[in-house]
Chains A and B, each alone.
Chain A
Amino acid sequence: MQNQFHSLRNFLRLSVLMLMLAAFAAPVAAQSVRPPGNAVNLDDGIEEGPSNALGDLSDTEIWDNFRGGNPRDIFAPAPEGQVMTTTGQQWRMIREKFIRKYLGWAPLIVIGLLAVFYFAKGPMKISAGRSGKTIPRFTLSARVAHWFMAAVFIILGLSGMIILLGRVVIAPYFGLEFNSVLTSAAMQGHNLFGPVFIFALIWLFIKFIRGNFFQWVDLKWISKLGGFFGGHVSSGQFNFGEKSWFWMVIIVGSVISVTGVIMLFPGLVDDIRWLQLSTILHALGAVGLIAVAFGHIYVGTIGMEGSLDSMLKGEVDENWAKEHHDLWYEEMTGKSASETKAPEETP
């Protein structure tokens, strides 16, 4: 019913456009019509032909009238009876000339930088070695929430990249037919897993909000660049980098969720510019998250010794905790983090 209504509205708009074009074109067309040979000039009081046949408006003004409003102000309300959407062209240009052309490079650049960092500095080892004693860091439900989000994120990230970049990355090498099949599959998968992401985001927020509020101690972490280039940095349960990642996921994830819902149910908005804005924000936010996620994955796996244990086993080595989350260690154990225990001798 709504589609029919939109079709009718589009048809009416097109009709108005055609009528206006005809109205403007009529005087111009009249000038090129020669009178027949037997035509008689009637004395109708008009000595010359119709004056001002081209009207008082320039072409720019005519098209401005078609467009309505100021084409440079994309947030201006759509005028009544507007027959042309200028922002559509602007949206297309942003999508084709910027997003599709350059955005896909962002994750690759991050991967490249991480590779350079890894080969230059190597992984961050536990300087005192593993103590052999562990302390609990994440509960089972927190770990399940994390991996649940990770699984959904990977599915949506892959399918989203195929939808966004398939035509420029896959089609030239594997053919249009293959890209069509892949994009069709990715589109359905993406639409279906989108709502699941919202659920995962809420679950993640509830499970990890505690401990992720910024504190003064985070300034020290920032001033020492997280200890990635040497030096010890104090932090609580989560350091500044982890907190920033958490809030980025929550805020950008919320934007992606809202824009995704708008795209999934376009009937929710009555102005096409919301849809255009949604596609741009959705792509920017998603690719941004994917790019930063590689950094998160790096630190959580090969980049830092002992960090993966927290999400796989739910426990971390005491020396790891003392080194990277000393304030949290002291809070958890009631012991001083400065007393570093020598690594246990292995038989």
Chain B
Amino acid sequence: MSFLQIVEGPLFIFAAAVFVLGALWRLIGIIRIGRKKDISPPKASAAAGFIRGNLRHFIPRGIFAKRTMVHIVGGYGFHLGLFALIFFGAYHIDFLNERILGVSWPAMPRWAFLMVSGVAFSGLIMLWVRRISDPVMRLISSKDDHIGSWLTFLVMLSGCFALEQAHDSLRATHMLLVDIWLVYFPFSRLMHGFTFVLSRGNSGATYGRKGIDL
């Protein structure tokens, strides 16, 4: 069995299992903590507040938008770009179709893939550069944040290096980094990819129950 077969086969399955089980364990753990009972009479629906809180946070607040423009542009560029790369990149669709899902869907054309990659890379670099440039961000950032950013960057970079599909070693490097990323994800701040729903929802529900319009 070649190194490529290992990182795409048993190691990938192991990493994917850790990712799924680890993420579920973390999410269930957070939900099980529960919320402190609010004995005051509700003025509005907490459930509606949960949904509204999630949706409202997608739109930047007017007074903060200008000050956090780099964060907003970088954040949206990176996350939307990464989503498009993972789920609409031709190689990824082939991989998901052959190894996991058994279904396929239309892929982005190559030029769009390159453009989206540029946007995603720009976003990620902007976010990390802001993290080290802004004194407040620098202060609240831990090793975990930097490792998560760099690991994600290396996964993307190695994927871009392997685009020509001419060398197995490049593809194997990309897959090895993907495996490491999948294992690291549930136990790091990368979990914000899932937990953001709960944290936004919690704030939304709390304010929603009090009848505060977000």
Contact = CB atoms under 8 A, between A and B. Distances in A.
Contacts of B162: 185, 188
Given A192-B121, A192-B160, A195-B114, A144 B126 contact: yes
B135 interface: yes
B118 A144 contact: no
Given A144-B70, A148-B129, 11 more contacts: A147-B133, A148-B126, A181-B169, A184-B167, A186-B161, A188-B162, A192-B114, A192-B163, A195-B114, A196-B122, A312-B133
B44 interface: no
A41 interface: no
A312 to B, nearest CB: 8
A327 B122 CA distance: 36
A195 B115 contact: yes
Q: Give the top 8 A-B pairs by smallest Cβ distance, nearest first.
A: A185-B161, A147-B129, A188-B163, A143-B133, A195-B118, A181-B167, A196-B118, A192-B160
Contact of A187 (B122, B125, B135, B164): B164
Contacts of B69: 141
Nearest to A197: B118
A312 B135 CA distance: 9
Nearest to A199: B122
- Place the interface of chain B in its size category: 20 to 34
Contact of B133 (A140, A186, A187, A195): A140
Interface of A: 140-141, 143-144, 147-148, 151-152, 180-181, 184-189, 191-193, 195-196, 199-200, 312-314
A144 B167 contact: no
Interface in B163-178: 163-164, 166-167, 169-170
B150 to A, nearest CB: 12
A188 B164 contact: yes
A140 B126 CA distance: 12
A3 to B, nearest CB: 14
Which of B126, B132, B160, B161 has the most A CB atoms < 10 Å from its CB?
B161
Contacts, number: 68
17 contacts: A140-B70, A141-B69, A143-B129, A148-B125, A151-B125, A180-B167, A181-B167, A185-B167, A188-B161, A192-B114, A192-B117, A193-B121, A195-B115, A196-B118, A199-B118, A199-B122, A313-B135
Contact of B161 (A147, A189, A196, A200): A189
Interface of B: 69-70, 114-115, 117-118, 121-122, 125-126, 129-130, 132-135, 157, 160-164, 166-167, 169-170
Contacts of A147: 129, 132-133
Contacts of A143: 129, 133
Contact residues of A: prevailing secondary structure? helix
Contacts of A152: 125
A188 B126 CA distance: 21
Contacts of A185: 161-162, 167, 170
A92 B1 CA distance: 44
A196 B121 contact: yes
A312 B132 CA distance: 8
Contacts of A200: 122
Contact of B114 (A181, A191, A314): A191
A181 B130 contact: no
A195 B166 CA distance: 23
Contacts of B133: 140, 143-144, 147, 312, 314
Contacts of A195: 114-115, 118
Contacts of B121: 192-193, 196
Nearest to B134: A140
A218 to B, nearest CB: 29
A74 B133 CA distance: 48
A199 B115 CA distance: 12
Nearest to B136: A140
A192 B118 contact: yes
A141 B70 contact: yes
Contact of B160 (A141, A148, A181, A188): A188
Contacts of A196: 118, 121-122
Contact of A184 (B117, B118, B134, B166): B166
Nearest to A155: B157
A88 B143 CA distance: 52
A141 B129 CA distance: 10
B149 to A, nearest CB: 12
Nearest to B135: A313
Contacts of B161: 184-186, 188-189
B170 A193 contact: no
A263 B167 CA distance: 23
Contacts of B164: 184, 187-188
